Amino acid sequence: MVFPIDSEPYGLSYKEWTGKWWQWALCTPACRNPLTDSTGEHCTEGQNGPVWFLAGTTGKTHSSERNCIIASRKSILFPIIVSQFSFSEMPLIKTDEELISYTARDINQCSLIEAFVDGLELKDLRKYRVQFGPFELSLPAGNIWHVKPGVTKAVSDGFWVFLKPLNCGNHTINFRGIEPNFQTKVTYRLTIKSKS
């Protein structure tokens, strides 16, 4: 059900896919951003290619229940709990090493990670920790972090699930994570539909 952590789905590593996820998540303006979506109405924003991205939550929205229709034969990537910082958000940080260390700080103290697909608990989730960066990130005007738009360097760290395509029909994905300064709990009710 889950791609191995050392695999390269569709020719890219887990690290590279998480970078693509962040660019997707942060390039969408705040007014329709999937991270702040409480119903799933924005789940189709920016979706293209073989992998469908599901959103976690932000500091202002710890819990969310979303409904989403996904085309068949799409793999699914989502963060259980992750941390991401860029030089734009943290102007006092000057080196790559400092940014990497700062981003890892709370993830190192993560006390709970869990994920379920259709009631089946996914095991050994701690081996799916992905640390990536610094990588180039382009922030648009009106971004959800409310920082100056433009290109910056960012670092990501956290726990991810990369699912192989689900069968057509209805599915439920639940995931939850807790670290010292943040917690998240998300339910997705998915309908996988074949193209007509």
Q: What is the pLDDT of residue 196?
A: 54
Q: What is the pLDDT of residue 101?
A: 96
Q: Which residues in the chain show pLDDT less than 50?
A: none
Kindly list the domain boundaries of the chain, sorted by start residue.
9-193
Q: What is the pLDDT of residue 32?
A: 84
| CA of residue 164 relative to chain centroid, distance | 16
Q: 35-49 burial string, b = 16+ CB within 10 Å, else e? A: bbbeebebbebeeee
Tokens 């995931």 correspond to 175
CB 35 within 8 A of CB 55: yes
CB 23 within 8 A of CB 138: yes
Q: What is the pLDDT of residue 188?
A: 97
Query: Sign of torsion, CA 85 91 97 101?
Result: negative
Q: How far apart are CA 95 and CA 15, in angstroms?
A: 20
- Characterise 130 by phi-psi region: left (phi > 0), alpha (psi -120 to 50), beta (else): beta
Q: What is the pLDDT of residue 36?
A: 86
